[in-house]
């Protein structure tokens, strides 16, 4: 029962002179309108589509979305990097990529919640020729297409939080960061939840990952912290005391699961695999199916049979 129906039920009960008791068949709910017990349901976490006209990417994405729509699920979350790439290209190219993405997304036929990725930020690299004064610069093009870059919503008793993990730096690059304004918003958002309310988080750049342990250290350390969120400890601290069922992450294009303080940080492989060049460090092209059952979260990875025209198999 959704909030509206539940209120209607309680209102009717009151009007009929009945005690407004909570029937055991209804999920427990607090005055803030949040439920403390979730129903069972399935949703999809589809990330890193990296849509572009080259490398058969649109064909691959179309295949992935068509496979995804065969899976019975309530909705999907796009985990970021919708297009490849809008950081370093002209406004015309970036717009055409988002147009292509929008067209391809129709194949999914599901309600989709969007998470911003680094490659979704327009004109950040000076090589793009874009001016920082351009009305669509940075995150504005994404916002114009998809709405807010961080927000929350509720579904069947679960509180979903979608975070913006992209920090645009003064020297026109990006790093993994959740800024102070968003941290304050997140603290306030989580504060409205009753004890034990289930929470699921979506974020593009991982809050927690052991990715750096799988590859040799670079000869020169990167200028910016881009593989994970540099201030993740500030975000994780806000999760303490909440019933976070899982954090879904993208960006590295590999399947990985790290558990910290009982919270699984689940990174999903990419629809684009190794940026449309085949398998990425053992993770093929695919997406993640997420099941919420009995108040617990479980995931499985689905591939969809794409064959790269230019495999590198790294």
Nearer to Fe ion, 113 or 204 (CB): 204
81 binds Fe ion (CB under 5 A): yes
226: its two tokens: 């881009």
- How near is the Cβ of 253 to Fe ion at its closest, in Å? 6
Quick check: helix, strand or coil at residue 121?
A: coil
Q: What is the C-alpha separation between 229 and 43, in angstroms, rounded? A: 25
Residue 246 φ then ψ, to 5°:
180, 155
Asked whether the beta carbons of 10 and 125 are under 8 A apart, the reply is no
Q: Which is nearer to Fe ion, 149 or 243 (CB)?
A: 149
Q: Which of 35, 81 has the CB closer to Fe ion? A: 81
| CA nearest neighbour of 186 among 232, 249, 220 | 232
For Fe ion (CB under 5 A), the number of binding residues is: 2
Tokens of 108: 């999914």
- Comparing CB distances to Fe ion, the nearer of 79 and 198 is 79
Q: Assess 285 for contact with Fe ion (CB under 5 A).
A: no
User: Could you give phi then psi for residue 232, rounded to 5 degrees?
Assistant: -60, -30
Among 29, 35, 46, 48, binds Fe ion (CB under 5 A): 48
Residue 270 C-beta: closest distance to Fe ion, Å: 6
Q: Which of 149, 150, 129 is nearest to 139 (CA)?
A: 149
- CB of residue 142 to Fe ion, shortest distance in Å: 14
Q: Give the interface segment with Fe ion, choosing from 77-85, 95-103, 205-213, 290-298 (CB under 5 A).
A: 77-85
Contact residues for Fe ion, defined by CB under 5 A = 48, 81
């Amino acid at each position: 029962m959704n909030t509206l129906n539940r209120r209607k039920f309680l209102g009717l009960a009151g009007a009929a002179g009945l005690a407004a008791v909570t029937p055991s068949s209804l999920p427990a709910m607090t005055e803030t309108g949040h439920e403390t017990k979730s129903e069972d349901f399935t949703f999809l976490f589809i990330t890193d589509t990296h849509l572009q006209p080259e490398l058969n990417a649109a064909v691959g994405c179309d295949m992935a979305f068509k496979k995804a729509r065969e899976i019975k699920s309530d909705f999907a979350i796009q985990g970021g990097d919708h297009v490849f790439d809008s950081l370093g290209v002209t406004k015309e190219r970036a717009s055409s990529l988002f147009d292509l993405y929008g067209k391809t997304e129709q194949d999914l036929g599901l309600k989709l919640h969007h998470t911003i990725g680094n490659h979704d930020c327009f004109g950040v690299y000076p090589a793009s020729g874009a001016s920082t004064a351009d009305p669509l610069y940075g995150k504005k093009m994404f916002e114009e297409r998809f709405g807010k870059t961080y927000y929350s919503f509720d579904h069947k008793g679960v509180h979903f939080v979608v975070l913006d993990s992209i920090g645009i730096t003064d020297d026109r690059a990006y790093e993994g960061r959740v800024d102070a304004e968003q941290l304050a918003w997140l603290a306030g958002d989580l504060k409205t939840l009753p004890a034990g309310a289930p929470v699921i988080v979506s974020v593009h750049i991982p809050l927690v990952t052991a990715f750096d342990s799988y590859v040799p250290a670079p000869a020169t350390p990167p200028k910016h912290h881009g593989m994970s969120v540099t201030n993740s400890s500030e975000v994780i601290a806000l999760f303490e005391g909440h019933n976070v069922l899982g954090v879904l992450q993208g960006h590295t294009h590999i399947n990985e699961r790290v558990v910290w303080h009982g919270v699984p940080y689940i990174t999903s492989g990419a629809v684009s695999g190794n940026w449309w060049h085949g398998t990425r460090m053992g993770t093929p092209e695919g997406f993640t199916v997420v099941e919420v059952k009995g108040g617990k979260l479980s995931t499985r990875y689905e591939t969809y049979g794409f064959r790269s025209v230019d495999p590198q198999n790294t």
